[in-house]
Structure 1
Amino acid sequence: MGFPVDLRRCQALGLAGTAFLALGGETAGALPAHDFLAPGSVQAVLGLVGVYFGVVLLIAAWVLLGGVVRGPEPPTPRSLLLVLAVWAAPLLLAPPLFSRDVYSYLAQGAMVDAHIDVYAYGPAQLGGPLADEVAPVWQQTATPYGPVFLVVASVLSALTRGQLPAGLLGMRLIALLGVALMAAALPRLARHSGADPAAALWLGALNPLVLLHLVAGAHNDAIMLGLLGVGLVAARGRWPVLGVVLITLAALVKAPAALGLVAVVALRSRGRGPRAVLRHTATTTTAAAATTVAATAAAGTGYGWIAALKTPVSPHNWSPTSLLGRVTGAALDQLGSGLAPFALPAWHAAGLLVTAALLLFIWLRLRPGPVYALGLSLAAVAVFGPAVRPWYALWGLFLIAAAAPTGSVRTRVAAASAVLALTVLPSGAPADVEQVILAVSGGVLALVVLWQAHQAARPQSPVRERTA
């Protein structure tokens, strides 16, 4: 008999993991400038070890919960939603973790509130304490986000009057709302796709990446995915136009969600002839265009979001195309070639071509179910785009979780999720050797504790009495 596993124990283990995450983040997270601690300080060292101790505990709880979900008496979706709420609770008041993007969101909201064109200027134009919290690499960068998110950020800025603690809490609550919408949509999409609702919730909502980056990191991808999910639910039901509106709003948070409109057409015209495809394409296009015009007018930010799709990415981004571009550029530079500056743009263009080819293959040749096809498409956009972040994996993962046709697909996606959950430091800053060693130490300590618990739970073999 191995480690005793049931829903209650998984819930408690995951709660311990997120509690350590929150506690460690108090000294090792993406802290405001006035709370920043030197990386080598005792508090920062203990915080970093504690965060990775918590991450490994959370991953272990999630993996064990997956076994319960696949077991003979799987938990109900409602009980899994309770587990999600319990795991997320300690992160509600924790400092930002794994990224400083939330500070950019707040600064951009304040810029809109101050009538500064966020599509022409970076946060440096705002100035003041809030702009100072934005990472230096993004100080002069215009926002890449759509008008719907900017309205949300602007309203939050007005409500909190630029106060940092209130703004951070507000952004986290907004992200939690997005996660709640995701969790509400997953079982419904799974049933429509012939998948197990409990397995969909386990992979798509209780995933460590959701807790680490959408809840703890408060990324606006949560709102994008939440609107996309409920939009697909509405589109396949009795409110197709409402579904188009919601998906368009999701795309006006972050552009990749616009691919959901293709899924709407596929959902509405599936099994019907070319006329139905044309009719639903026209209806979807009209509703999306009207929503776009209305939302952009209401936001008052103009159509600068179209040009913002070309917003530059970090020079140190680790997407495949950016990595190949840097390597090629360095090689050409060593050879003295004048083509070196064109290497990165050329690889980014190649990535876009590969993405387009994959999308055509998925929708025209592979032809899986519309929800699964959308998940694969968003995964391709994330992998071959000019920028890759661990939370971008959630774009495709969310819908793959809802519609994956086999358990083996879920197993591979889950393994990738566990690896990605370990790739970013809680401060969101680039790692050095010392920090990597500390992070590994925290993870190893968690494994030791789990192994000791496993050994303690094993029944002891009876000691045979020696006979004279």
Structure 2
Amino acid sequence: MSVVWQGFAGSLLLFLGSLGVGWLAGSSVLIRTPLIILARTTPAAVIVTTLLLCLGAALMLRAWLRLRQHLAAWDDTARPVLAKALALWVTPMMFALPLFSRDSYAYIGQGRLMQEGLNPYTNGISALNNYFVLGPDTLWTEAPTPYGPLWLWLEHLAVMLPAPSPEIALIPFRLASLAGVILLAVYVPKLAARHGLNPHRTTWMVVLNPILLINFIASVHNDSLMLGLVVAGIYYASTRKPILGILLVTASIAIKPITLIALPFVGLLWAGAHAGWVRKFAIWAATLAISTAVMAAMGAVNGLGFGWLAALQTPGTVWIWYAPVGLLSNAVGFVVGLFNAAAGAAVTDVIQTVGQAVSILLVMALAFVKIPLPSAARIASTGLDTERCYSELVLRRMAWAFAAVVLLAPMIQTWYMLWLLAFFAVTGIKEGWQLRVVLYLTAFFTAIALTDQLSIFPWIPVVLIRIVAISATVICITYVMFWDRKTRGSFLPRFDALVQSR
């Protein structure tokens, strides 16, 4: 199928573009290789590789949209096509230099902290000698790690590999990201089918989504393994295997503790649709006890205990313009700061603190307010039994809980969208405006990724490359959304007839 190979071509262009503007550590031996020198040392070469990135991402977006059109029936013939597309789209990016993020180099720095016997929950990477040659983003070099003990072990393992260049240490992180995508490819369709949804359509929407592949594979984010584990855990909790579900969710927490949010909902799945409050609180207590015991054991082994609790606020120290709370707090703080600088900073902090407090209250309300049993009419309309309808309701509550935390935070990273996409998709995203929201967000965050962090040598005019990246991104993404006769119907309802064309 040509659209599958079109996505492969896009992924290949992302790989080629990474040679010019992907991230390399200052100590990397690759910097001295002829191909990298050619791709990174002149403005013309950097412009070309930047254009390759923009074209590659646009091709992947277009291929993803066209794949939906070709598989519109979503029958069993879709399964091998989706599997082939996933394999082909992932492979080139597995060999790319890290794109749009330096988090993978921060992982190496945190592993070095572990190797030198320093506590990464109290020390930033800047505690290391010559830390800057490791390639981390300076925004985070003084911050403690926000990651759990399982990820710290992987970081420690990575830096123990014999390697002439830091890029060798990225291999375990690449494999972990791939493992997360594979877990999603296995358990997203299983959860969707359990809730009476088409598993192939849900796999396309979540796992083949170009934003997921770019952020999890090309950018090497540990959210991939975190999300894969929590989705797997939720599946087992939903299918009456609560202990396995709790262990998998706890493993996810031990990657990034944000998935603590999932624990009370796992407890609700374990308690069952007909549980009273006594049983619910007993199950919640048991769920928390099992998860806490496992995390305590991990903390005892690495000698760091529950140090990750104090580091949970690390990602909340920055903001971004498209985060509602971030924009509001800093806009109001700026205006107040025109009259009193100290008061302006205080107002910003207060608004962000209120946003976090409201998100916590919403999570608690979503977890503890009773979920009404599905009506007989609903059960009849869906063809599901009571427990499966209840599972869908619980997981939709959980999806909104994660949405509250994300939307009320001052910083929304591109990959946060993927948490919400997975959780909402396995409980149902309908055709029409709901799917169109997903498509617009995918296009938006693709554009954000392409215009975000590019690695450019100091003697290359940064403003010029930024203008090229923004211009090319706007042209490519806008073309796919509004001018391409094959794909614009996905975004503009009046062209829906064209969407069905082959």
Q: TM-score interval w.r.t. the shorter chain?
A: 0.7 to 0.9
Per the TM alignment, residue 296 of structure 1 is displaced from its structure 2 partner at its CA by 1.5
Aligned to 2:339: 335
Aligned to 2:130: 128
Is residue 2:274 matched to residue 1:281? no
Contact 1:322/1:386 (8 A) holds in 2: yes
Contact 2:21/2:40 (8 A) holds in 1: no
Instruction: Describe the SS at the equivalent of 1:369.
Output: helix
User: Structure 2: which amino acid aligns with 1:377?
Assistant: A
Aligned to 1:27: 20
Taking the aligned partners of 2:290 and 2:341, their CA distance within structure 1 comes to 50
1:119-170 CA distance string (max 9 Å, x none): 1111111223675411122221111111111111111221345841211232
Aligned to 2:297: 294
Is residue 2:176 matched to residue 1:174? yes
Per the TM alignment, residue 265 of structure 1 is displaced from its structure 2 partner at its CA by 1.6
Is residue 2:445 matched to residue 1:420? yes
Q: How does 1:307-346 map to 2 (within 5 A)?
A: 307-311=310-314, 313=316, 315=318, 317-318=320-321, 319-336=323-340, 338-346=342-350
User: Structure 1: which amino acid aligns with 2:195?
Assistant: S
User: Structure 1: which amino acid aligns with 2:2?
Assistant: R
Per the TM alignment, residue 109 of structure 1 is displaced from its structure 2 partner at its CA by 1.2
Per the TM alignment, residue 427 of structure 1 is displaced from its structure 2 partner at its CA by 6.6
Of 132, 144, 147, 1:145 maps to: 147
User: Structure 2: which amino acid aligns with 1:413?
Assistant: V
Of 2, 8, 25, 1:15 maps to: 8
Taking the aligned partners of 2:91 and 2:71, their CA distance within structure 1 comes to 22
Alpha carbons of structure 1 residues 289 and 47: separation in structure 2 relative to 1, 3 Å: same
Aligned to 2:400: 376
Question: Relative contact order (C-alpha < 8 Å, sep 6+): which is higher?
Answer: 1
1:255-274 CA distance string (max 9 Å, x none): 22112212212222232131
Aligned to 1:270: 272
Contact 1:75/1:198 (8 A) holds in 2: no
Contact 2:105/2:134 (8 A) holds in 1: no
Of 392, 400, 403, 2:416 maps to: 392
Taking the aligned partners of 1:60 and 1:67, their CA distance within structure 2 comes to 11
Q: Give the root-mean-square deviation of aligned CA atoms.
A: 2.8
Of 433, 438, 441, 2:472 maps to: 441
Alpha carbons of structure 1 residues 388 and 232: separation in structure 2 relative to 1, 3 Å: same
Aligned to 2:47: 45
Contact 1:96/1:102 (8 A) holds in 2: yes
Alpha carbons of structure 1 residues 229 and 429: separation in structure 2 relative to 1, 3 Å: same
Contact 2:320/2:411 (8 A) holds in 1: yes
Taking the aligned partners of 1:189 and 1:410, their CA distance within structure 2 comes to 18
Aligned to 1:459: none
| Identical-residue share of aligned pairs (%) | 26
Per the TM alignment, residue 217 of structure 1 is displaced from its structure 2 partner at its CA by 0.4
Alpha carbons of structure 1 residues 9 and 372: separation in structure 2 relative to 1, 3 Å: farther
1:15-44 CA distance string (max 9 Å, x none): 011111111111022233363877971111
Is residue 2:233 matched to residue 1:228? no
User: Structure 2: which amino acid aligns with 1:209?
Assistant: I
Per the TM alignment, residue 440 of structure 1 is displaced from its structure 2 partner at its CA by 2.9
For structure 2, which runs of at least 5 residues remain unmatched after alignment?
Answer: 373-391, 456-461, 488-502
Is residue 2:426 matched to residue 1:402? yes
Contact 1:57/1:446 (8 A) holds in 2: no
Per the TM alignment, residue 67 of structure 1 is displaced from its structure 2 partner at its CA by 2.1
Contact 2:58/2:477 (8 A) holds in 1: yes
1:330-375 CA distance string (max 9 Å, x none): 1111123642221221121121133234435544378762222222
Taking the aligned partners of 1:433 and 1:46, their CA distance within structure 2 comes to 12
Taking the aligned partners of 1:124 and 1:11, their CA distance within structure 2 comes to 44
Instruction: Describe the SS at the equivalent of 1:194.
Output: coil
Larger CA deviation: 433-442 vs 263-272: 433-442
Larger CA deviation: 218-227 vs 169-178: 169-178
Per the TM alignment, residue 307 of structure 1 is displaced from its structure 2 partner at its CA by 0.6
Per the TM alignment, residue 433 of structure 1 is displaced from its structure 2 partner at its CA by 6.9
Alpha carbons of structure 1 residues 434 and 90: separation in structure 2 relative to 1, 3 Å: closer
Contact 1:204/1:402 (8 A) holds in 2: no
Aligned to 1:258: 260
1:417-458 CA distance string (max 9 Å, x none): 221111023772598575244343266368879989979xxx
Taking the aligned partners of 1:72 and 1:103, their CA distance within structure 2 comes to 40
Alpha carbons of structure 1 residues 426 and 337: separation in structure 2 relative to 1, 3 Å: closer
Alpha carbons of structure 1 residues 160 and 227: separation in structure 2 relative to 1, 3 Å: farther
Contact 2:86/2:208 (8 A) holds in 1: yes
Larger CA deviation: 270-279 vs 29-38: 29-38
User: Structure 2: which amino acid aligns with 1:258?
Assistant: L
Taking the aligned partners of 1:104 and 1:436, their CA distance within structure 2 comes to 28
Alpha carbons of structure 1 residues 292 and 129: separation in structure 2 relative to 1, 3 Å: closer
Alpha carbons of structure 1 residues 412 and 233: separation in structure 2 relative to 1, 3 Å: same
User: Structure 2: which amino acid aligns with 1:214?
Assistant: F
Q: Matched residue pairs, number?
A: 448
